[in-house]
Structure formats: C-alpha cells, structure tokens
Amino acid sequence: MVSEYGDALRGKIIIDITNPVTPDFKGLVTPDGSSGAQEIAKAAPAGAHVVKAFNTLFSNVLAAGPAEGRPLDVFIAGDDPQAKARVSAFIESLRLRPMDTGQLPMARTLENAGLLELGLVANSVRHTNFSLGVSILS
C-alpha cells in the first residue's frame, strides 16, 4: 500500500478518492473515529499531504462534466492548506467546483456521504446518474 512507496511520496500530495465500504455496503471498514484518508496519512511518509477528494462523484457523472449549466461539486478535506489549494486549483481546471469541508477528520463524513450514495443507488435512485452538491441560497 502507501508505505511501500516510502520516500517517493515525501513532499507529495496524495489525493484519496476511496470509499472504504464493507462488502455488503452497509458500513465502513475503517476503525471507529478514523477514515480511509486518515489511515493513508498514518502510513504515508513524513511530508506527504493527504487530501480527500472526488469520492462522492460517480465516474460517469464526472466524465459527463457540468450539469444543468453549473459545475459539479467536489468535496475536499485535508490538514495542509497549501495542499488543499493545489488540489482545489486542479479541480477548478477540470471545470468543477471545490468545496472545502475542513480538516482531514472530515474525510470520514465524506466517506459516509459515499456510503449514502450507494444506499440511494440500491434503494431509491437505482442508477448512478446523480451527484451530491451544494446550492447556495441568496
């Protein structure tokens, strides 16, 4: 995993796109109070910066791009402001809208949002042609 790359990741930004769900899609496989992104950060070498991003966008939605004339929202979480700024710039270069949710512990909430989406697919929406986003009201 991450530790196998050792010093090659030192000083790098690691974008964690995963949703570490159980095989039955009813929970997360990470330890209580942690997230996949936090576990990656623990295994990464000093100086590597983990940013959680893209885990709430299905690949077909991401490939389709902006919906109804507005960019898709990409929720991010991370501890390093410079790393988040670079990831946000990358997201904007894709014509998407970065939405900073805070520090890396918020990655668990984002992973639960991914689990929520899987529940919607299984129980009500029945397809992956949707995304979660924020509507800012005036």
Superfamily of domain 2-118: NAD(P)-binding Rossmann-like Domain (3.40.50.720)
**Residue 100 buriedness (CB in 10 A; 0-12 / 13-18 / 19+):** middle
Res 138: pLDDT: 86
Res 4: pLDDT: 84
Cα three-residue angle 102-103-109, rounded to 5 degrees: 75
Regions of the chain with pLDDT less than 70: none
